Structure 1
Amino acid sequence: MHSLAMFISRIFLILPNTIQSLIAKFVGLAVWAAVSSRRKSMMFKNIREIFHTTESEAYQIGKASITRFGGMLADLLQYPRLSKENIAEMVNFQGLEHLKSALDCGKGAVMVTGHCGNWELLGAALAYQGFPMVAVTKRQRNLSFDRFINVFRHILPDVTVLYKDNLRDVIRALGENKIPLIFIDVDGHDTGVFVKFFDRWTSTPPGAAVLARMCGCPIVPAFISQASNGKHHITLQAPIWVDNSVNKETVIYNTMQHLSSILEQHIRRLPHEWFWLQDRWRTKKNE
């Protein structure tokens, strides 16, 4: 898989930029065509109910959310040419001082984000800035695609890839003053904590709050978005510290509610950049 991935990347990188853009657009449209009508209907319904949009507006947001995957793949194929010296051509940064100050505690930092913008590039770009990133990810159902993505993740400088079930390794990484990158916008199922997200009770994985409380480290919200000229922008917010003066259940709820509200504000600004296709509100709260 490594040889195939590198071959595809080399071929892609020698193509003119106009051809690269056309390929990215074609892949995005192909992904859109492959999505089932049932999944699209669920996505449009959520967008209409949350933003009170027309069907046409919901369609535009939803389609833009999915066709972006062509550009995300194109960015992934760029990884072999990236370096600390040229990463600024692709990404600019705001708030790096927040991440630096978070690491000053010597206990690592939990970075939280959502499936917004090119989330794969978020950790990669920060790694090229010298930050010891740990990608805490979910194994893809398609194992071949999972291995394909991991080829590019592993060529990044000082990046560790861990799957969600490796909690012990995540704790060890924090002890080594590293930065696990955790997504808080996936369904937490029966083990999640219910918080309000877009005015709906939403099961949310509590891992970020649990780790911060257990390890005494800060939480740093981070987001990546893309400008009309194609350049990506990463924003890092001020560290959030878990209040251990209250009981465990309360502090985890308060922390995850706060983080979910921060994520919601970002999505409201850039709704077309969030991954609406997931059934975020699948698990219902028992009233």
Structure 2
Amino acid sequence: MLSASLKSVLQHARYLPLWSALTAVRWRSFDSRSSGLGATFRTVMRWFPPARSRFDREAKRVFPDMKPVTRAKLGQDMGWHMGRTLFEIYHDAEFQTHHHKFSASGPGLGALKEAQRLGKGAIVVSGHFGQWEAIRAVIKIHGLESGAVYRPNKNRHYERRIRTGIEAGGKPILATGHVGTRALVRHLRDGGIISILLDEKYSEGVRIPFLGHDALTSLSAAQLALKYDLPMIPAFGTRVGDGNTFSVEFEAPIPHTDSIEMTRAFNDSLSTRIMANPEQWYWMLKRWDGA
């Protein structure tokens, strides 16, 4: 096992490139810095073989007939989007104040407001697509607040910055695990809103089709919605135009049936979004491992 001091040194070394990219151009505008980190990630996806290989493995599964040159460009475009998304999350306190960047639509926003009017909680479900923090920004613009569930990062330097950014979007911020689940239930029963990203592999989940292939998927959001009679609202923040603005759509709440059928409906909805804008989904999640 690594000693605590060596582990700390390694964590510093892994964080240093991102820290350098984030701090080297602090004098530039928010959008310029965001675009700059996007360009950095695009370069990584072009020239760093491990990243290219990981992306290719996932993209080939969904696009087996795509030409290599087209797939390479898709990976680089994904890098640009993900670099920008990461920058905006790290600087979420500032990002949340850019009200002019967000446009909202869809029946789910009205359903969310109605649930709050009745004193009920609500579950907003999304994925690592577009800019998911734009969803909570719009919720805040409309006078509400959504907490979030997140998976803590093992690198304490990333973790500190990421958690600070996520907290700026709304509280409470609840880590995955038993303690976080208990707090989540209390928050929902007290009438709170929570946002959950449902597109990560969940080893104890159920195999449900996602982008045409079975993927281990958590049923927790649907189970909570059914148990406590809460709306489960899919929402997506698509990056549009030059990448500095966002179209946030709140779809109608998923009808209450059973947890598998409801989660399948969400997977189908997210899959549709990804197929329309594949460069805006984070393909590096190892989504189908072990499925």
Shorter chain as denominator, the TM-score bin is 0.7 to 0.9
Q: Does 1:274 align with 2:281?
A: yes
SS in 1 for 2:237: strand
Task: Give the CA deviation at 1:177.
Answer: 1.6
How far apart, CA to CA, are the structure 1 residues paired with 2:31 and 2:212? 42
SS in 1 for 2:283: coil
2:199 maps to which of 155, 178, 185: 185
2:171 maps to which of 156, 159, 162: 159
SS in 2 for 1:154: helix
Partner of 2:103: 92
Q: What is the letter of the counterpart of residue 151 of structure 1?
A: T
For the 8 Å contact 2:82–2:280, the answer to whether it is kept is no
What do residues 180-227 of structure 1 show as CA deviations (whole Å, max 9, x unaligned)? 1111111111x1011111221211011111111121111000001111
How far apart, CA to CA, are the structure 1 residues paired with 2:186 and 2:259? 21
Aligned-residue sequence identity (percent) comes to: 22
SS in 1 for 2:290: coil
Partner of 2:261: 254
1:115 maps to which of 118, 124, 128: 128
- CA 1:57–1:133 in 2, change beyond 3 Å: closer, same or farther? same
Give the TM-score, by structure 1 length. Answer: 0.82
Moved more, 91-100 or 251-260: 91-100
Q: What is the letter of the counterpart of residue 104 of structure 2?
A: F
Task: Give the CA deviation at 1:64.
Answer: 1.3
Partner of 2:253: 239
How far apart, CA to CA, are the structure 2 residues paired with 1:40 and 1:161? 32
Segments of structure 2 that go 5 or more residues without pairing to the other structure are: 1-18
Partner of 2:57: 45
Q: Does 1:217 align with 2:230?
A: yes
SS in 2 for 1:23: helix
- CA 1:18–1:80 in 2, change beyond 3 Å: closer, same or farther? closer
How far apart, CA to CA, are the structure 2 residues paired with 1:56 and 1:34? 14
- CA 1:196–1:80 in 2, change beyond 3 Å: closer, same or farther? closer
How far apart, CA to CA, are the structure 1 residues paired with 2:206 and 2:30? 45
Give the TM-score, by structure 2 length. Answer: 0.81
Q: What is the letter of the counterpart of residue 111 of structure 1?
A: V
Task: Give the CA deviation at 1:45.
Answer: 3.4
Moved more, 220-229 or 97-106: 97-106
How far apart, CA to CA, are the structure 2 residues paired with 1:30 and 1:147? 26
SS in 2 for 1:43: helix
Question: How many residue pairs are counted as aligned between the two chains?
Answer: 264
What do residues 228-247 of structure 1 show as CA deviations (whole Å, max 9, x unaligned)? 2221111101112323xxxx
Q: What is the letter of the counterpart of residue 41 of structure 1?
A: S
How far apart, CA to CA, are the structure 2 residues paired with 1:197 and 1:172? 30
How far apart, CA to CA, are the structure 1 residues paired with 2:227 and 2:277? 33
For the 8 Å contact 1:108–1:177, the answer to whether it is kept is yes
Partner of 1:32: 45
How far apart, CA to CA, are the structure 2 residues paired with 1:23 and 1:193? 39
- CA 1:80–1:103 in 2, change beyond 3 Å: closer, same or farther? closer
Task: Give the CA deviation at 1:61.
Answer: 1.4
Segments of structure 1 that go 5 or more residues without pairing to the other structure are: 244-250
What do residues 13-59 of structure 1 show as CA deviations (whole Å, max 9, x unaligned)? x524685356334432465368552x532422332342331111111
Task: Give the CA deviation at 1:74.
Answer: 3.6
Task: Give the CA deviation at 1:104.
Answer: 4.0
For the 8 Å contact 1:24–1:74, the answer to whether it is kept is yes
- CA 1:18–1:65 in 2, change beyond 3 Å: closer, same or farther? closer
SS in 2 for 1:118: coil
- CA 1:74–1:198 in 2, change beyond 3 Å: closer, same or farther? closer
SS in 2 for 1:159: coil
Moved over 6 A (4+): none
